[in-house]
Structure 1
Amino acid sequence: MRITSADVPALERGVALLGSGGGGDTMTAAVLLRRLVTDGPEPEVLPVDALDPAAVVLPVGIVGATAAFTEKLPSGAEFATAVSAIERWTGDRADVLVSIEIGGLNGLMPLVVAGDLGLPCADADLSGRGLPRLDQLSIAATGRGLAPAAIAEPGGQVLVLAAGSDASVERGARAFLASSGGWAAMAFAPVPAGELPSCAVIGSVSAALELGRRVLAAGESPAADRLAEASGGRVLARGRVLEVSRHVGPGSHGSAGFGRGSATLTDHAGGALLRLEMENEYLLALRDGRPVASTPDVITVVDHRTGVPVPCDAIRAGLEVDVLQLAAAPFWTDPRRLPVLRPRAYGIDSDPVLAP
C-alpha cells in the first residue's frame, strides 16, 4: 500500500481519533506528509506477513512535549541521526521502520521519515492508540525491552541509552528532554520482522486509514447512530462541556507526574453528567458517578459540529462535543498485558470497563 495525497486527510483523522486525546497535534505532521507525497516518493506500508522474517525492523517516533514540535520544527536530520546511531550501536542496518505509536503525530511522522530514508514502513505500531510513557510500549509490555535507544534532538545532541530497564529508559529520555529542546526523535532496538506479531499491534496503519475514511464520510454533525457506525464504537454522550479542572498528577520517586485533570459535560439525551478523567489521554469516563468506559479502550472527544478530535489540553467549558469509546486492540485486552494500561496503572482506583 502506498500513501497518496488523497489518503492524508483520512489518515490524519484516524490517528487523531486513536490518540485518545493525546499523541500531539497532527496538523504539522500532516503538512510534512502531504509535502512528501506531493514532491517525493509515496511512503510504502507493507503488511507484516509480507516481510521477510529476518528483516530488521526499527521502531521510531517522537517523544517529549509535542506542543514544542509545532514551535520548533524538525530540520529533517533528527530521525536519520537517531536511526544511524542505533545502526552503529547494534551493527544491524534497518530494512523497515515501524511507528512506536499510531495515535497522534507519531501515526504520521514515521511515514515522513520512511520517505526521506527510502525505507518502507510496517503496517503495525507499538501502541495501538496514544500512550504517555515509553515503558508502556508493546515491546516493553512483552518483556522485550526498550534498550538500546537513541535520542536525537533538534539542536544536534545525540544520546544512546545502551542498557537499562524500561523504566530507566523512560526516566533517562525525560531527563534529556528537560535539558534540550523539549522534543526529540527516538529509535529503539531493532526487532526481526518475524517477531513483530508477538510484540506489536498489527495492521494499525491500515486500520487508522480506514477509520478516518469512514468518519470523514459520515460528514459534519452526524446522528449518534451514524457516528457510532462510522467509528465502529459507541457514543457515550453528546453535550456541552460544563467544567474543566487541571492539576499535576502523581509522579514516582518524588517527581511530579504528567498533567492531570477532569472534564464534565451534560448529556443532552437525558441530562446525565459524564465526567472524563485524563492524564495526557482520556482514561476513564463516569456517567453519574458510575464508570462506563476506561483505558485501554480509546476514549476520544470530538467537536460535535466538525467531528475534529479535541485533545485533552484543548478541551474547555462551552464546547459542544461527542464522546466516543473505541475498542482497544486485542493486544491490550490479553490478561497478560491488560495491567500495563488499566486505570490502576495510572493511579486511578477503578477496574477496566471495556467495550462489549
Structure 2
Amino acid sequence: MRIGLADVPALERGVSLLGSGGGGDTVTAAALLRARLGAGHQAALTPVDEVAVDAQVVPIGVIGATAVFAEKLPSGAEFRAAIAAIERWTGRSTDALVSIEVGGLNGVVPLVVGGQLGLPVVDADLSGRGVPRLDQLSLAAAGRGLTPVVLAEPGGQVLLLAEATSTEVERTARAFLAGSGGWAVLALAPIPASELAECAIPGTVSSAISLGGQALSTDPEDLAEATGGLVLGQGRVVEVSRRPGPTGFAQGSATVLDHRTRSLLRVEMENEYLFAMRDGEPVASTPDVLAVLDHRTGVPVQCDVIRQGVEVAVLQLPAAAFWTDPRRLPVLAPRAFGIDSDPILLEVR
C-alpha cells in the first residue's frame, strides 16, 4: 500500500485515536512525513503475508517524553545508530521495519525512517493501540521477552541491554531517559517474518488510515457505528484532577457532564485513558480504546492537555483481537494499572 500526501491526514487522525489519549505528538510526526512525501520520496506499507518468510524485521520506535520530540527533532542518526547496534549484536541484517506502537507518533515515524534507510515498513505493530510501558508490548505478552534492546538518544549515547526481563527493560529504559535528552529511539532484535503473526498485530497501520478517514468525515455517533464502537458520553468537561502515580507516570481523571442524560462520566487516565464510570458505575475499560474528541473539531484530546470547560465526545473503540485473548488480556486489563476491576469490553456487552 503506497502512502501519499492525501493519506497523511487520515493516518494522523487514526493513530491519534488509537493512542487512547497518549502516544505522543502526531502533529510533528505527520509534518516530517509530509515533508518527505512533498520532496518526492515514497512511503509504503507491506502486508505481513507479503514479506519474505526469511526476512528479518526490526521493531523500532520513539520512547520517553515524546512532547520534547517537537522541540528536539531527530537528526535521523538516532535510528541509524540503534539499528546498526542491534545488527552488530545479533549478527543479523535488517530487511524491514515494524513499529513498536501504532497509537500516536510511532504509527507515523517508521514510514519516515523506512524511506530514509531504504527499508520496507511492515503493516503491523507490537501494540495495536497506545501502551505506556515496554513490558506491555505484544512481544512480552506473547512470552518472547524483549532483549536484546538498543536505545539511542539525540546526544549520541547508545545503550545496549543484552539480557533482562521485560520489567527490567522498562525500568532501565526509564532510568536512561532520565539522564539523557528525554526521548530516545528504541530498536529490538530482528524478528523472522515467519514469526510475526505470533507476536505482532497485523494490519494495524492500514487500519489506522481507514479509521482516521472515517473520523475525518463523520460525527462521533457515525464513527462509533462504523467501527463497532460506542459513544459513552457527550458534553462539557466539568473537572480535571491530576496526581503523581506510584509508577512514576502522572495519574488523574476527567469528568464529563453528559448533556444527553445529565449523568457524570468520569474517565480515569494515566498516560492513556484507561477506565470510565457513569455515575459511579463502571462502563468501559482498557484494553478497548477510550478516546476523547473535541466536539467542535473532532480532534482527539490527549490526557496531558484535557482541561475543564472543553466540549467533548467520549468514545469506546474495540481492542485488537490479540488483547482480548484470555492469555494476554491481563497485560492491559485495568488491574495492570492499579484499577480494581475486571475488563469491560465491547465484545462482551
Q: TM-score range by the shorter chain?
A: over 0.9
2:332 maps to which residue? 341
In the TM superposition, residue 40 of structure 1 has moved relative to its aligned partner by: 4.1
Structure 2 segments unaligned to the other structure (5+ residues): none
In 2, Cα distance between equivalents of 1:279 and 1:198: 29
Aligned residues: 347
Report the 3-state secondary structure (helix = DSSP H, G, I; strand = E; otherwise coil) of the residue aligned with 1:291.
strand
In 2, Cα distance between equivalents of 1:200 and 1:283: 22
**Does structure 2 retain, via aligned residues, the 8 Å contact 1:247–1:260?**
yes
In 2, Cα distance between equivalents of 1:324 and 1:95: 38
1:59 maps to which residue? 59
Q: What amino acid maps onto 1:323 in structure 2?
A: V
TM-score of the two chains, using structure 2 as the length reference: 0.98
1:242 maps to which residue? 238
Q: What amino acid maps onto 1:229 in structure 2?
A: E
In 1, Cα distance between equivalents of 2:221 and 2:29: 31
**Does structure 1 retain, via aligned residues, the 8 Å contact 2:224–2:317?**
no
2:308 maps to which residue? 317
In 2, Cα distance between equivalents of 1:135 and 1:319: 34
**Does structure 2 retain, via aligned residues, the 8 Å contact 1:29–1:109?**
yes
**Does structure 2 retain, via aligned residues, the 8 Å contact 1:215–1:230?**
no
**Does structure 2 retain, via aligned residues, the 8 Å contact 1:211–1:230?**
no
**Does structure 2 retain, via aligned residues, the 8 Å contact 1:244–1:261?**
yes
In 2, Cα distance between equivalents of 1:170 and 1:297: 23
2:266 maps to which residue? 275
- CA 1:238–1:135 in 2, change beyond 3 Å: closer, same or farther? same
Report the 3-state secondary structure (helix = DSSP H, G, I; strand = E; otherwise coil) of the residue aligned with 2:140.
helix
In the TM superposition, residue 123 of structure 1 has moved relative to its aligned partner by: 0.6
Report the 3-state secondary structure (helix = DSSP H, G, I; strand = E; otherwise coil) of the residue aligned with 2:82.
helix
In 1, Cα distance between equivalents of 2:34 and 2:83: 23
2:50 maps to which residue? 50
In 2, Cα distance between equivalents of 1:354 and 1:232: 12
1:254 maps to which residue? none
1:308 maps to which residue? 299
Cα deviations by residue, 1:54-73 (Å, 9 ceiling, x for unpaired): 11000000000011111111
Matched, 1:216 2:212: no
Cα deviations by residue, 1:220-267 (Å, 9 ceiling, x for unpaired): xx3x5323234441100000000000001122xxxxx21100010110
Report the 3-state secondary structure (helix = DSSP H, G, I; strand = E; otherwise coil) of the residue aligned with 1:44.
strand
CA RMSD of aligned residues (A): 0.9
Matched, 1:285 2:281: no
In 1, Cα distance between equivalents of 2:223 and 2:294: 12
In 1, Cα distance between equivalents of 2:108 and 2:40: 16
1:328 maps to which residue? 319
In 2, Cα distance between equivalents of 1:109 and 1:90: 24
Structure 1 segments unaligned to the other structure (5+ residues): 252-256
Alignment of 1:17-28 (within 5 A): 17-28=17-28
Q: What amino acid maps onto 2:246 in structure 1?
A: P
Matched, 1:9 2:5: no
Please list every run of at least 4 consecutive aligned residues from structure 1 whose deviation after the TM superposition is greater than 6 angstroms.
Answer: none
Q: What amino acid maps onto 1:130 in structure 2?
A: G
Matched, 1:294 2:285: yes
**Does structure 2 retain, via aligned residues, the 8 Å contact 1:250–1:347?**
no
Report the 3-state secondary structure (helix = DSSP H, G, I; strand = E; otherwise coil) of the residue aligned with 2:3.
coil
Cα deviations by residue, 1:11-67 (Å, 9 ceiling, x for unpaired): 000000000000012000000001111214212211101111111000000000011
Report the 3-state secondary structure (helix = DSSP H, G, I; strand = E; otherwise coil) of the residue aligned with 1:41.
coil
